[in-house]
Structure 1
Amino acid sequence: MGQGLSCGASQENGLFSAVQVGDFQTVEVFLKTEPHLLHHTTVYDRHSALHIAAANGKIEILSMLLEKSMNPDALNRHKQTPLMLAAMHGKISCVKKLIEAGANILKFDSLHGRTCLHYAAYYGHSDCLQAILSAAQSSPVAVSWGYARFVNIRDARGATPLHLAARQRRPECVHILLDNGALVCASTGGYGCPGSTPLHLAARGGSLDCIRKLLAWGADRLQRDASGRIPYVVALKHKHGDCAALLNPSSAEPLVWPAPLKFISELNEEAKSLLEQALMEANRERERNILKGTAFSLPSPSPSPSRSDSGLDSISETSDTEVCCICFEQICTIEVQDCGHQMCAQCTLALCCHNKPNPTTASLTPPVCPFCRSTIVQLVVAKIKSYDDADHDITDVSSPKLRKLRKSRNFSEGSSSFKSLSAVGSFSKMGGRGSGRVAAENESIDKP
């Protein structure tokens, strides 16, 4: 925004300068001797002392000003609140304090009609963004507006916070917004090219990380803006060759966060993180092949262990299952809480990732456990037994010790019946297994 926070040549200059540098004692003296200065503003920008404290992260002074009943929603020349400036400059402690003091998160400025949520997303301050979203869930906003409506709030040019985060190359903010219900295919009004989706804007900005996340949450590569352009064309126009390769409609479809998983109540955060990691790994394997300029190749299926190799005869039925009984390849990291059956994150995703979900035909039925066919109500992180037989939650699925656990275990329960399902085959074709390497964002591809 490029707004200066300098104080005008006035009698208030001493106070505002002290606030800006964080001189608590001087500010305190000023306000004791001349309490009326509390309501004065700078000459040009009309910044109050609270605006200056918020923008510069002076939390002690800001707290003192709020204790003196200063209006937390004071407006400057552009109708910006102290909360907007704190979000703009990434001053998380000030953001939290202002929200605690009752600052209105639904105020719009007069520059672009933006809220504090827009500012946090635009400038890439993910901690501020999360704090504002958390406040919205427990504030009157959730009742009067509705939380989903707030997450997708539009500025004067029709841009949602997700549009701004995607355009400004803010992948962490993109992820937070998508995780909180931001509409991945929403079109802008006059922001950017009219009718642009977040994917169009990420293609324009050339951010592979933003494109990855948008695609993983179901962004449509074929959606057109008002000029009839798909994101692929936008990426080509702005000479982002690696982005264009991923957005090319002829390239392999990415895996998309499975819609049925959204209906599992209270999806454990750690389990969700493992599932997201598996999804991104599969997509990165796809990216690696695309960015190499080679045809998308399927990974060679690993042969299932034979009875003699796996040592099934020597393992009792009560031993812990640490290798997934579905793919015989990955460590079990996810557990169905009610029945206790375990599988790897890749196979959990495979239950729902047969094809890219179609919003008009997607089933809202939760997935069922492949072993006992009971409805999956909650997923949690699986527990394994280490070599000293102590129980541990799985935290690093790539550690060498866990890799060594890909050995013989009891595959008797339900594995043969589930192997007939097409989910695992579909998953491996779409994304492949294994960690895969992430192509560097500035990696170029050969052009014909």
Structure 2
Amino acid sequence: MGQGLSCATNDENGLFSAAKLGDLETLQTQIDADPSLLNHTTMYDRQSLLHIAAANGQIDVLSWLLDRSMNLDLLNRRKQTPLMMAAIRGKISCVQKLVDAGANILMFDSLHGRTCLHYAAYYGHSDCLLVILSAARSSHVSASWGYSHFVNIRDAKGATSLHLAARQRRQHSLRILLDNGALVCSSTGGSGYLGSTPLHLAARGGSLECIRELLAWGADRLQRDGSGRIPYVVALKHKHGACAALLNPSSVEPLVWPSPLKFISELNSDAKLLLERALMDANREREKNILKGTAYSIPSPSHSDGGIDDNFSEASDAELCCICFDQVCTIEVRDCGHQMCAHCVLALCCHNKPNPATTILNAPLCPFCRSRIARLVVAKGTDDNDDNDIGCPRLRRSRGSLNLSEGSSSFKGLSAVGSFSKAGARGSGRILLDEWVDKSDP
């Protein structure tokens, strides 16, 4: 009896090793000989072949197993699905395959009460995060739970995916979540960091990048956690001096993305990128002023001013913004067709501070013809170059010349106004995989 058990275990070891290494030929041979092997799992963690293939990114094995009508949502010992395992390990091709096949994105594990969205955010796999969010938007989730509910779903300790991304210093994941409706001022419940907002957790971790993103989306510097501490106090406690300086309630408020405005929320990707860069550049200038004369400093942008001026010499004076006469026009107002620079657009959106009790705002008026702004698009000729840099010389000029203390009149006014608005209320255990999950990846 003992010998029989040992032999069976060796056979299973060979089967699981084949799934882990992507040895599809061996897998096919063994399962064709004994189809019941499809249902075998590892002894301790009860990982199925589907779990192992997904966690190790073996897309060919995964596809073959799915063709054999295996259950997409098999659970291991911790009630984790193959989709969760792929999201944990950042295996984007396997995440996409499972989502396309109809894997349930609403399942919770028993380890932390987390979904695949929580794990993609926690481990900073932004590509997996985008796939899962896209699936939530187009599947039954949107109709039953509601898309916003899914984005802000909490784990067993009351943490949303945004909390986890902020805690782990995952800037790109954090931005994706904010852009998809994550509530920037939500508080944790349960045990752990009771009452903490994402800003508290970013302050605890000392991530300037995450703090910068959260502030730009309206995170409240005065919101208190369960112990009565504001993020500034949390940053001081953990000796993150630069973070504390930015979070100090007495420092100048950052500029905040005006997300409640309808024409802002419906921007196309190019126009949105132009405006976001203008906002982040403005906040970086604010940060430099706050940190000036301290032991902390913000690195300057990597572009060269000399090269910018040479490129810009080709542009005519007629292309300069007629509001500030300093930046080049990169944004066009629809339907009137008037153009201005991204910095003046932000100044226009920020001029009237919205009432925090409502997200219904009146669209600002075009400063040239006084018609209501219905939509903003990239001005003609701005987006016809490399996508990674929105590459035209005009944008590089506008980014390089921005200085809140010495720059255009529009941004002197912008810095005086303060923030746009508090835009819409807009714990970790290490995941221990069993021996059949390759731990060589970072």
Scaled to the shorter chain, the TM-score interval is 0.7 to 0.9
| Per-residue deviation, residues 359-400 of structure 1 (Å, max 9, x unmatched) | 215652222222122222221111149xxxxx9469657865
TM-score relative to the length of structure 2: 0.81
Q: Which residue of 2 aligns with 1:239?
A: 239
Say whether the 8 Å CA contact 2:261–2:361 is kept in structure 1: no
Structure 2 SS opposite 1:380? strand
Cα distance between partner residues in 2 of 1:343 and 1:33: 70
Q: Which residue of 1 aligns with 2:425?
A: none
Q: Which residue of 2 aligns with 1:223?
A: 223
Cα distance between partner residues in 2 of 1:88 and 1:163: 17
| Per-residue deviation, residues 145-184 of structure 1 (Å, max 9, x unmatched) | 0000000000011000000000000000000000000000
Say whether the 8 Å CA contact 1:54–1:83 is kept in structure 2: yes
Q: Which residue of 2 aligns with 1:165?
A: 165
Does residue 323 (structure 1) correspond to residue 310 (structure 2)? The answer is: no
Q: Which residue of 2 aligns with 1:419?
A: none
Say whether the 8 Å CA contact 1:256–1:356 is kept in structure 2: no
- CA drift of 1:241 comes to 0.7
Structure 1 SS opposite 2:332? strand
Root-mean-square deviation (CA, aligned residues, Å) is 2.5
Distance 1:401 1:330, change over 3 A: closer
Q: Which residue of 1 aligns with 2:272?
A: 272
Q: Which residue of 2 aligns with 1:205?
A: 205
Cα distance between partner residues in 1 of 2:201 and 2:245: 16
Q: Which moved more, 1:346-355 or 1:269-278?
A: 346-355
Does residue 261 (structure 1) correspond to residue 261 (structure 2)? The answer is: yes
Say whether the 8 Å CA contact 1:86–1:94 is kept in structure 2: yes
- CA drift of 1:426 comes to 2.7
Cα distance between partner residues in 1 of 2:157 and 2:398: 54
Structure 1 SS opposite 2:349? coil
Q: Which residue of 2 aligns with 1:373?
A: 370
Structure 1 gap ranges (5+) = 1-7, 295-318, 386-390, 407-421, 433-448
Q: Which residue of 2 aligns with 1:336?
A: 333
Distance 1:234 1:35, change over 3 A: same
Q: Which residue of 2 aligns with 1:125?
A: 125
- CA drift of 1:356 comes to 6.0
Does residue 383 (structure 1) correspond to residue 370 (structure 2)? The answer is: no
Q: Which residue of 1 aligns with 2:51?
A: 51
- CA drift of 1:288 comes to 1.1
Distance 1:322 1:392, change over 3 A: farther
Q: Which residue of 2 aligns with 1:35?
A: 35
Cα distance between partner residues in 2 of 1:405 and 1:249: 30
Structure 2 gap ranges (5+) = 1-7, 295-315, 400-408, 420-442
Cα distance between partner residues in 2 of 1:338 and 1:161: 38
Work out which of the residue numbers 330, 348, 351 in structure 2 matches 1:351.
348
Does residue 19 (structure 1) correspond to residue 19 (structure 2)? The answer is: yes
Distance 1:321 1:149, change over 3 A: farther
Q: Which moved more, 1:391-400 or 1:37-46?
A: 391-400
Code of the residue aligned with 2:106 in structure 1: it is L
- CA drift of 1:226 comes to 0.8
Q: Which residue of 2 aligns with 1:90?
A: 90
Identity of aligned residues (%): 72
- CA drift of 1:358 comes to 4.4
- CA drift of 1:355 comes to 6.7
- CA drift of 1:259 comes to 3.5
Structure 2 SS opposite 1:259? coil
Code of the residue aligned with 1:36 in structure 2: it is S
| Per-residue deviation, residues 107-157 of structure 1 (Å, max 9, x unmatched) | 000011000000000000000001100110000000000000000000011
Work out which of the residue numbers 353, 356, 360 in structure 1 matches 2:357.
360
Cα distance between partner residues in 1 of 2:386 and 2:20: 47
* Aligned ranges 1:378-417 → 2 under 5 Å: 378-384=375-381, 392=384, 396=389
Structure 2 SS opposite 1:107? coil
Structure 2 SS opposite 1:155? coil
Cα distance between partner residues in 1 of 2:415 and 2:386: 23
Say whether the 8 Å CA contact 1:382–1:394 is kept in structure 2: no
Q: Which residue of 2 aligns with 1:5?
A: none
- CA drift of 1:263 comes to 4.3
Q: Which residue of 1 aligns with 2:187?
A: 187
Work out which of the residue numbers 410, 413, 417 in structure 2 matches 1:426.
413
Code of the residue aligned with 2:332 in structure 1: it is E
| Per-residue deviation, residues 404-424 of structure 1 (Å, max 9, x unmatched) | 899xxxxxxxxxxxxxxx975
Say whether the 8 Å CA contact 2:224–2:231 is kept in structure 1: yes
Q: Which residue of 1 aligns with 2:80?
A: 80
Distance 1:392 1:12, change over 3 A: closer
Q: Which residue of 2 aligns with 1:104?
A: 104
- CA drift of 1:191 comes to 5.2
Higher-RCO chain (CA-CA 8 Å, sequence separation at least 6): 2
Distance 1:361 1:32, change over 3 A: closer
Cα distance between partner residues in 2 of 1:249 and 1:217: 17
Cα distance between partner residues in 2 of 1:103 and 1:402: 43
Say whether the 8 Å CA contact 1:124–1:165 is kept in structure 2: yes
Cα distance between partner residues in 1 of 2:290 and 2:343: 21
Cα distance between partner residues in 1 of 2:390 and 2:147: 35
| Per-residue deviation, residues 302-359 of structure 1 (Å, max 9, x unmatched) | xxxxxxxxxxxxxxxxx99411111111111111132211111111111121376542
Say whether the 8 Å CA contact 2:363–2:372 is kept in structure 1: yes
Q: Which residue of 2 aligns with 1:410?
A: none
